[in-house]
Structure 1
């Protein structure tokens, strides 16, 4: 088993880290406090080609392997997890279009999506349907050569910028089982009846917007049905979410990495009783545990990403997402404890890591739900330990 990066991956990671150190970390705390959208950072990511990381090369993208994909989100989240979210939803939607879209849909959207001229996201969750996607109520009724879409979507990242926005709908609300009547439509923002109604206030995950989207009689051309065939929507969405779990695991590693850096730096600088607190055994135990768990989470992320490269990997990506998200929260808390009272101050970066880490155990499927996914895969024999 080879745990080493290729020369290309090492160079790519170094480029990403330099970008984060130069363009994100110096402004993240101030911009988050101001509620400012990080347009300059987004432009920088576009210049680096990062909006094309899941777009095939024939459409102008980078088409990264899953491990390199994970590295992107680890490094960006190290600087500001919310900014990684801007890239995350976009990349998963691009992957979905590239994998399941018709040739015309790929030609229409992927070239501009790869450069960031267009951006996108995924509209799955609803006010009464989160983990249970088969419980969505948004409908799409075929009327001639258009679908008429009605419903509300919640917690939609990139909602104000996504064009098109892939939306999970029920094209046959009476289908049994429900997933056989679900489809995805690529809905452009200019269509009448498409409204981003409000931004949802959040504890963390700032920098990107999370919005409610109302679809009121939106008439969507029939050729915007992803893949051109009804009834495949849930399968299409779940295929993207497998990469999404790698994304969340990697973001969690980024949070934990930054928590480690800040805790170590503060422990070496802060003095008590005439010496740096890094000399006290209690602090040393926290630093050692944090670093050990960080490295374990990183290896778990790369292992799961490599499994995706070789085929379906529900168990591996589920394990990674569960473990890494919980390590991120633990790392953030330990880093706050190392900082003492200053860790509770908004003048220090570490409190943002705590707020951002909490989402990692919720997004892309709650950890308890993913534990059942992992268990079922083990029972089926899809993976052995």
Structure 2
């Protein structure tokens, strides 16, 4: 993408996409239609996306476009990040690891990294030559992040990391992992003892466990990570010691907005797939689209999806302008992911037996969507946040 495409900042209305945003979307969609769509089913079967696709995408300027120009990016606003996520989700949920890298993980380095860390890592993150992961979840700690057991204990001018992480997006491909560790296992409250560290692929003692087999999102590699006496220099500390939990919380607003965007695009796609199917499929001598039950179901789904799109676009505009949307984004994350699950069930029902066949895209959408109500904070946690903001 040519840097001359980057123009004015969008306003705070829902019409925030400028001509530059639309050019970015069109260019990205053409690229994905050529380089991803024809191969996606093969990647799903192989349970991984080739690294060559990452570098092709990065070479066109589609990864981390928001990074400052001095580190190889184009210094764009969040609208470009939102478009990247929407277009990847349009192809399939298995591509979400790229959006996670671009819009969730790399921002930690840009926001909290030292100048040396930014110069070392950001250019490769932009080109796709350096793939990142963030390791928070453990076998015994998910939503209760303060109770992680992986430790990073200070020893002179270095830290020694020991522990295990699981459900890590980009776990197999990752060249750089941001690892949440306890630097003070005894402090109260426990979250004050969490720090973040940058661990490179070939660091002695760092290894991959299993590439996990999931119900859905097959082409997104997900793995266990193991840290056994992993020695990292103090310069690999990301930000300040003991501030890791705070850093994670500051980035969750964007992560949850991304989750809502991805789920909404999936719902929109499922609706279109089903509209096409019911117009072509005949039963009792006429298209099933002519039955009132079919029409009512589709009308209900179309309405909910339209409400979701209006809400998400509103939040994207506010997020671009730096507005605190923690409460609203928690609402969007739980409601839209739950709505997408309802849509998937209704759409597969309207496909009948064919919806259960792998050759139909609706089957993949149906198995890809359930995890969305779990990751980026479970929907139960979202409701807890909303209740707290309501003064309950």
Task: Bin the TM-score by the shorter chain.
Answer: over 0.9
- Are 1:239 and 2:257 an aligned pair? no
Q: TM-score, normalised by structure 1?
A: 0.93
- Are 1:162 and 2:174 an aligned pair? yes
Tell me, yes or no, if the aligned pair for 1:167 and 1:184 is still in contact at 8 Å.
Answer: yes
Number of the residue aligned with 2:9: none
Number of the residue aligned with 1:194: 206
**Structure 2 counterpart of 1:272, from 276, 283, 295:** 283
Cα deviation, residue 293, structure 1? 1.8
Deviation string 1:136-193 (CA, Å, 9 cap, x unpaired) is: 0011111111100000011111112222211000111111111221100001111100
Number of the residue aligned with 2:354: 342
Number of the residue aligned with 1:323: 335
- Are 1:375 and 2:369 an aligned pair? no
In structure 2, runs of 5+ residues without a counterpart are 1-11
Cα distance change, pair 115–258 in 1 and its aligned pair in 2 (3 A): same
Cα deviation, residue 29, structure 1? 3.1
59-68 vs 174-183, greater mean Cα deviation:
59-68
Partner Cα separation in structure 2 for residue 258 and residue 330 of structure 1: 14
Cα deviation, residue 54, structure 1? 4.1
Q: 1:217 is paired with a residue of what secondary structure?
A: strand
Number of the residue aligned with 2:80: 68
Tell me, yes or no, if the aligned pair for 1:164 and 1:188 is still in contact at 8 Å.
Answer: yes
- Are 1:178 and 2:177 an aligned pair? no
Q: TM-score, normalised by structure 2?
A: 0.91
10-19 vs 114-123, greater mean Cα deviation:
10-19
Deviation string 1:274-327 (CA, Å, 9 cap, x unpaired) is: 332222222222222222222222222222223333233211211111121112
- Are 1:287 and 2:298 an aligned pair? yes
Deviation string 1:42-77 (CA, Å, 9 cap, x unpaired) is: 344223323223422331123442333222212211
Partner Cα separation in structure 2 for residue 48 and residue 131 of structure 1: 36
- Are 1:206 and 2:218 an aligned pair? yes
RMSD of aligned Cα (Å): 1.9
Cα deviation, residue 38, structure 1? 4.1
Number of the residue aligned with 1:383: none
Number of the residue aligned with 2:7: none
Number of the residue aligned with 2:143: 131
Cα distance change, pair 340–20 in 1 and its aligned pair in 2 (3 A): farther
**Structure 1 counterpart of 2:89, from 77, 88, 111:** 77
Number of the residue aligned with 1:354: 366
- Are 1:98 and 2:110 an aligned pair? yes
Number of the residue aligned with 1:306: 317
Partner Cα separation in structure 2 for residue 296 and residue 194 of structure 1: 45
Tell me, yes or no, if the aligned pair for 1:55 and 1:61 is still in contact at 8 Å.
Answer: yes
- Are 1:118 and 2:139 an aligned pair? no
73-82 vs 30-39, greater mean Cα deviation:
30-39
Q: 2:359 is paired with a residue of what secondary structure?
A: coil
Q: Report how many residues are paired.
A: 379
Cα distance change, pair 224–298 in 1 and its aligned pair in 2 (3 A): same
